[in-house]
Amino acid sequence: MSKIVALVLAFWTGGVALVQAQSPVVVELFTSQGCSSCPPADRLLHDLASRDDVIALALHVDYWDYIGWKDEFADPAYAKRQRGYAIEAGRKSVYTPQMIVNGTTDIVGTRPMDLSDAIAAHKAKPSPVSLKVSREGASQIRIQAQGNAKGPLVVHMVRYQPERIAKITRGENAGHTLRYANVTEQWNVLTEWDAKAPLDIAAKADGRIPLVVIIQRGKHGPIIAAAKLR
């Protein structure tokens, strides 16, 4: 039976995003300002950020802060999310730069061809739900997902800054001024949906920075739908 998820969120900008048979592919880059291997992956994420078929997110981790430079964008929650992916996949360690594609595929962030292949493979898979994100009235966003989906499904809301610049004065990247794309600064779990009944919730999203909604099987499983409003 077709199920419908409807979420109403307070928001200050307009826009419409619609995901039907196919959903944008979510690429999460786990990176650090203190990692000398990360700048090429950070530049690659800039390229991905301009694509409509990809939702690129930079999650800065804090576990390299001890080597001389504290990443000002880092959040321990992102390292925790990365470790969650590792546990889910049976990996014994985490690293940077690491890309996770649609919650399942592990790619070294400096391998563009491997990443391109992974994105293409995920794009070829139809989504089990369709997800619509649109603004209604002066400050409302309505999100609707419908399709044959099995729970539990976790609904995430993510905010990010399209670009941030950092002058690195210590550590492995000392002396460099680096540009970062789609720097995640808020990652909230809105709710868990069992897919057995319609869902209607409200969540506040202040400010004008872009918003992403992700529907994921569990907190660290496959991402089955996503949409963004810039």
Q: For 40-79, write each residue's pLDDT tens digit.
A: 999 999 999 999 999 999 999 999 999 999 999 999 999 9
Higher-scoring residue by pLDDT: 78, 128: 78
- What confidence score (pLDDT) does residue 207 get? 76
- For residue 131, what are the contacts with CB-CB under 8 A and spacing of at least 6? 18, 19, 23, 143, 144, 145, 213, 215, 225, 226, 227
- What confidence score (pLDDT) does residue 194 get? 81
Task: Output the CA angle 129-187-31, nearest 5 degrees.
Answer: 105
Q: Look at residues 171, 176, 169 and name the one whose alpha carbon lies nearest to residue 67.
A: 171
Question: What is the count of structural domains for the chain?
Answer: 1
The residue segments making up the domain with residue 120 are 3-229
pLDDT-wise least confident of 101-110, 134-143, 172-181, 194-203: 134-143
What's the one-letter identity of residue 190? L
Higher-scoring residue by pLDDT: 206, 55: 55
- What confidence score (pLDDT) does residue 198 get? 67
- For residue 65, what are the contacts with CB-CB under 8 A and spacing of at least 6? 32, 34, 71, 74
Structure tokens at 48: 């991905």
- What confidence score (pLDDT) does residue 140 get? 54
- What confidence score (pLDDT) does residue 204 get? 74
Whole-number average pLDDT of the chain: 86
Q: Is the whole-model pTM more than 0.85?
A: yes
Q: What is the CATH number of the domain that holds 122?
A: 3.40.30.10
The helix or strand, by DSSP H or E, that contains position 71, with its residue range, turns out to be none
